[in-house]
Amino acid sequence: MTEQFYTIIEDRIRGPKFADDFLIRAKEILTNYGEVFRRQQDILAQNKEKYQETYQNALSSINEFKDKWGMTKQAEMEVYFEEALDSLDMMLKAIIQHKCRASALMVVESLCLHLNSLEDRLNRWTQTVKFFRDGYAQQAKEQINQADAVFIDGAKLFDRPEFNRLFQDLISQYGGSQEDITVALDKLCQTLSQGILSQASPLWKEERRADEIMRLLDITEIPNLKQDNFREIIDKQTKEKVVNAPNSSRLHQELAAADRLFKVYKDNAKIVEQLRSAIALAKPLINLSSAAFSRKDIGFTPLNYKIVALTGGSQTTDPAAQKLLPLLEEFYAPEDVKPLSATEDYKIVFYEETGGFSLRCLEDLPLLRQAYLDWKGKWIVAKRAQLRGENQDPPIPVHTCKEPPFWDLFPEDAAIFKLLVQARALGVLHQKMNRANQENVIYYSRNTPIGPENVSLASSWQELPQILEVKACRGDREEIQRQVNKALDNAQTMEQKDSLFNQLTNYLEQRKLELENEGGEDSKAYLRERQIILEVIETYKLQVEIDQDVLEATLHESPLNSLPPISSNKSESQLNNLPSSNSSESQLNNFPSSNNSESQLNNLPSSNSSESQLNNLPSFNSSESQLNNFPSSNKSELITLQTNSVNGSKSQLLAELQQLADLKREGILSEEEFQQAKQRLLNG
């Protein structure tokens, strides 16, 4: 019965409707058989009881007359025996027939149960097939509507009736019948079904014989999880039939893109215009900002890549494609014409790609950034209101994590960055750990009527430039600028400028150490901050510059003997043992010491000039200040004074050094001796 049912399903002439009728008819027949067998069972049961009673009566008569005597005893006994044997025969026949009817009824009931299972499989098979059929019918409807509505540069490529004719011709080509489309469709579907069922057999049974192939009714045995795989097999098999259409089919001949192009547009000028429109449509959909690309510090050159692909490429053998190549030379170089396979002759591909640019070059990204800054301002206002004890909810968060994983795509505002570097170097901005939440915080202090107040700005230095761009933080930026200006303007005296100079240079040294992993003093971040600090030093004249010619002119107006005497707190300063110019060696001993009396100038040979003496060189009071890079020639050079911890007068130190310079100029000291003496003096 099952085999017959499989055969009915696979027969395209009979099919599922016939199978349904078969089930109904078979169930009717079996039901009728069951009713007959039940009735016969009842009749046979009654007959069995009747014959059993007759048999018992005959046995009773035999037992009654077996011990009696009579003239007719033998004849009567023979009658009783005959009656008993006949009753026994009929009773046994009734028992056997009753058993047969019971067994037959069991078979009928089993067959009815099997019919019910076949009916259930048929219903599931019908639902599955209808589901696939309706899905493909919906896809076909949508796709034919899309194709019917396709306009390329204002031209409609296909009509619905034309599509129908193309696929009817394809079916006829596969079916081998040019007249009866139904016969051709049956042959095509039979071939497709065999291929699909053969390829889908592993979905039905993972363990099966090599020659065991799934049959049509076995579709219901495929698990639901594998239904998508079964659909993919159907799609692949049917698509191959369309893609690999015979060369003689109209589908292959009339859907070639190059042929179609020349069929729709017969004028080359119109074809070129359509090609230009298609190339314009192939450009990237994201607009790039021309202003961003025009920046001098852009740091990269965007790359543009565009190609066109058609059947066979630049070496195509297709006549229509060969005819199209000269028209494409206006837009593409020969190496930009790429090949498509013969199965892709239904399309011409125009492709363009732009890459190698920063995200900040996107056209509308500044608008998104401004929207983010507006949100950031609302968040800061709400946060500060909460710190003041006010009940204000922050805006809906836009970050999916606590710390933003990416910083600003755009370069920070140059003025704000310059202000932050100055404020950080001058100690206006500070970083500390918030003990309440154990997070780093960048803050500045401002005066209030009840004392200083720390204003938190950001959690890191990288985030700070963006924070100060927010409108809500404009007051903070102005206050920081005011404090920076105040710190710079208050440096009026030489000592104040020196102190400020040392503070700025110490900041650079600190940044050099912090940026060691990024290159230290060679890193871009350090060089950028160094330039800002240098501009501050030059603008506010924090570095003392002295012209040596001016010093010499000033000192020559007064004789060296008028210089104040050398003073020392720990030892008496003396200048001894200066031989005359006629001797071969002159020495300069016991150079005055500083407060620590640790530095001495010894063994300075003299030249062959007239005898000169160096007396009463003034000293300075601290051994901690240094003066470096004193010039060795008479040209005007800069002398950088670092006197943050000097207790004495700069003019006093300059006078001492000027006297050394005079000795060198007069030939008393050589260059090497002058440098040694200068270094000892600077070392205290």
The predicted structure's pLDDT at residue 589: 37
Helix (H/G/I), strand (E/B), else coil: 389: coil
Residues 265, 268, 270, 273, CA torsion sign: positive
Query: Does residue 549 have a pLDDT over 50?
Result: no
Whole-number average pLDDT of the chain: 78
pTM: 0.45
Whether the CB-CB separation of 75 and 104 falls below 8 Å is answered with no
Query: Does residue 529 have a pLDDT over 90?
Result: yes
Beta-strand relationship, 337-340 and 303-311: parallel
**How large is the average pLDDT for residues 80-104?**
87
Q: Which two tokens stand for residue 19?
A: 């199978």
Summarize pLDDT for 267-325 with one digit per residue, the tens. Answer: 889 899 989 988 998 888 888 887 777 777 677 778 889 999 998 999 898 888 999 99
Per-residue confidence at 544, pLDDT binned at 50, 70, 90? low
The predicted structure's pLDDT at residue 372: 86
Higher pLDDT, 639 or 376: 376
Higher pLDDT, 580 or 213: 213
Whether the CB-CB separation of 577 and 591 falls below 8 Å is answered with no
Range of weakest confidence among 298-307, 340-349, 608-617: 608-617
Summarize pLDDT for 403-460 with one digit per residue, the tens. Answer: 665 667 777 889 999 999 999 999 999 999 877 777 888 999 998 888 888 888 888 8
The predicted structure's pLDDT at residue 153: 61
The predicted structure's pLDDT at residue 651: 55
Q: What angle do CA 486, 491, 494 make, to 5 degrees?
A: 180
Summarize pLDDT for 176-222 with one digit per residue, the tens. Answer: 766 678 888 888 888 899 899 999 898 888 888 888 888 988 888 88
Of 263, 266, 279, nearest to 158 by C-alpha is: 263
Query: Does residue 676 have a pLDDT over 90?
Result: no
The predicted structure's pLDDT at residue 179: 67
Alpha helices in 461-590 (DSSP H): 464-469, 474-489, 494-514, 524-539, 548-556
Highest mean pLDDT among 399-413, 465-479, 591-605: 465-479
| HSE value, Cβ hemisphere, 13 Å, CA-based, for 576 | 5
Range of weakest confidence among 9-18, 294-303, 623-632: 623-632
Query: Does residue 604 have a pLDDT over 50?
Result: no
Cα separation, 98 vs 91, whole angstroms? 10
> Could you give the C-alpha distances from 588 to 291, 592, 615, 663, in angstroms and in order?
70, 11, 10, 11
**How large is the average pLDDT for residues 3-8?**
90
The predicted structure's pLDDT at residue 678: 78
